[in-house]
Amino acid sequence: MRKLEEVVNQKNSELKEKNVKILDLMQMLEDFKIEVYSRDKTVQILQQEVQKLTTALRESKQFEHKYTASLTMQEGLKQQNAKLKEQVQKLLEAEAAKGLPSSSEIDSKA
């Protein structure tokens, strides 16, 4: 009977050790779950941030393109304005050479 008690006690002790190991492993598993969840959340937040930055970059590039186009248009309008001023000047000189009243003289008579 004593031998049986020793074996039972030994087996109980072994079971307790195994239970402790199982509990430790379960705690490790829970810690890993928390860590994985944290990493997933971090990745999700970073993905959202990347998406926001990508959108901001796209909008910035669109603005840059529009700005460049407006500068090109502005330069074209300046050149066109200079040509028109030159043509007006030539017309005024031609009117003066013919002895015709200038447009300002016509305006003042009216």
pLDDT range class, residue 110, cuts 50, 70, 90 = low
How does pLDDT run across 42-70, given as a tens digit for each residue?
Answer: 999 999 999 999 999 999 999 999 999 99
| Residue 41 scores a pLDDT above 60 | yes
**What pLDDT, on a 0 to 100 scale, did the predictor assign at position 46?**
97
Listing DSSP states for 8-51 in one string gives HHHHHHHHHHHHHHHHHHHHHHHHHHHHHHHHHHHHHHHHHHHH
Helix (H) or strand (E) run with residue 101 in it? none
Reported pTM:
0.54
For the chain, the first-to-last Cα distance in angstroms comes to 139
Q: What is the residue extent of each domain of the chain? A: 2-97
